[in-house]
Chains A and B, each alone.
Chain A
């Protein structure tokens, strides 16, 4: 009796791992390799120490030169890896760095620095299995020094000169369906900002957006909220004060949870120059060139960066309103 029970237990002990192994082997049939793509150009302008950090911590996802370990290549882990690599290369690819303009490269360096400082990159779940990819305070200092050196000696703005010409008679539409409207000129100003690229910005909100800011109703922002950021080149006055000069672009974020599912419910759009030319060749542009940053770095305010800072006494609102 005793022995039969034991053999039964032993059998069971072996059957479970055997089944797992069988399933794992089966899963490998569905293993799709990461598409191999050519290297077109590296970040040759950066110092070697900066490159070394990016190669060590970021290249496995943001390049065409993966050095994956065996466990990254086994299903089901490999599925997650492939998904991350596809997505990472879509937003930034260190093997295709030559495709970016000088201004875009500076913009990416700031994005890189911010992601590292916020501890968002490399992705946390990746670090669990690849602890060597963790970035240190020293790495961040190195990247910061280089990033600041780039913006110092750069032309005042990174946008090509706006093409001359009259404003279009009918308003343009972004490829993802966001329509330009000039109604924002009458909306309430929710904040102002500047960026390292020597631009100056004003952020307008419609009534729904303003109400959401005042009530901190960010999780999620209500449908129908629209925020528009107008961007100008900085124009310096003789006394050193800075004013908005030439118009660069107007950027929209329009909340519709149903319509813009892939971009956290926000419809992004950018309309540039006097002609208000929409950015993006198809609806995917927002996924490729907008949401990455907003999702990773401004989630704590519902994916908007320029919500007013929480630094004024609440009583001030009534004071201002009563004037």
Chain B
């Protein structure tokens, strides 16, 4: 038996370079191979012999397999099959992408979540009370008319004109202290053009706690603007009027197109306004049931669309939301 086994090994080694590996595999490992035949003969042997011979057969089998494996892998590289053209393009998987506005919201959320804010939401169909009344905008306040509200049922129900309505809800319903940011859709009754759409996005922030003052607002906004525009961005804090806040702040960044010299883009201001902010008006705190002698807070709000448009080089706001935007 052992002789037969070593004979098979010799034959294999002789033929190794001459016959193709698949043929060798059939001849030496196939069902009708000599080696397989020997396995059947094992039955005739004594137990002790069975064990010894069986192990020799298995050893040879393993050896042949290893040899064949390495031969095959060699031949794969050295002799590519004729129809294999590695320069053909790959099969790209279809990959989906998020809308640019969602991406910008995620980017900004990331900053504020790290600062301890919760992402908060509210309805788009609002009451006059939450959209105006609680925000220190009593009826007959000129700002109400300036906002060109879309009404569902005048004067009570409307489409929110700003995300500040959610501040009123949060201040009324959530426990203090509070830190929230609110991204969301807002609506205005506007003639649509490249810069105006009846629906657009705002991003609102609110922090109310003990001992909050304008230095905290300034610190937060500067850190945020640096996060968004880079460490070297130049900012300008202006006094600005918003009914919901007192004192009010307008935050500008240096115009990146003219570096504050003045150009068409910044309307020769040298700066571009990016958000409005201020200390929450005591009337607003009061109307939401908060003791303004114990708590103070700041709020800020910004339009998101211009940010998205600048980042993704989109010239027409309508294209963001009318299905003409193809994400690559």
Genuine A/B complex: no
